[in-house]
Amino acid sequence: MEIAALFDLSGRKALVTGASRGIGQAIAEALAGAGADVAVTARDVSSLEETCGRIAVKGKKALPFSLDVRDVSACASVVAQAAGMLGGLDILVNNAGYEEIRPSMDVDEALWDTIVSTNLKGAFFCAQAAARHMSQTGRAGAIVNLCSLTSYVGVPTAVPYGSSKSGLLGMTKALAAEWAALGIRVNAIAPGYFRTAMTDVFYENADWQEAMLAKIPQRRFGALGDVAGTVVFLASDASAYVTGHCIPVDGGYLASI
């Protein structure tokens, strides 16, 4: 098989959560660029207009859905609707996430529940709904979870977030082991330092930027294409024998500590 054909997603149907901006938007656009029709979700469906426009420019079908991934029944409903309207579901990218920096002594139950329910619980039930559909229809599938550097290292004032992302890494491995027999691969990526709306507060601090760049061997922050290309690889036949792994996309940060 030609190498380019291994990365071709023509005819594939994908669902990307949290796709209104930033990394999620870039992933949705990249999947469409590789040939997939893409359903996208956000809590505010009107915020998906730009993402759908970018998918349409690629000549692919774009379907927007309102979804708060903390709502288990809504996860199942949206997955079913997306699969029905797309004519199947081959790829799920669990990108929806929430982070709030707060000293651990000040973390309350509400913040803990919001972060863990969004980043871990929501990802599981979206994956479960997608896997049920894939297994019932006999279509092989690929699920990609968005982990984090905090899946590997401790970050002060980010304990709920790090806990959720560490759990997501464990979930990725366990589901990969369980669902391989169903023809479903489950992998993850761990983005390093990328400037997005959720992380913009850090980048407003010049001293923080200088300190972080000194820790990254490539001496640059991530670009959205760095993440998008890795997701296309994990969603495609190019990674057909890869499951249960998390790829850090971090400019060498983890390798150097």
Catalytic center residues: 161
- Length of the chain counted residue by residue: 257
Report the candidate in 187, 146, 153, 114 with the shortest Cα–Cα distance to residue 19.
146
d(CA 51, CA 25): 6
Burial class (CB in 10 A: 0-12, 13-18, 19+), 111: middle
| Chain center to CA of 166 | 14
SS3 of residue 117 by DSSP: helix
Strand order in the sheet with 13-16: 62-66, 37-42, 13-16, 91-94, 141-146, 184-191, 246-249
Contact predicate 133/79, CB 8 Å: yes
SS3 of residue 236 by DSSP: coil
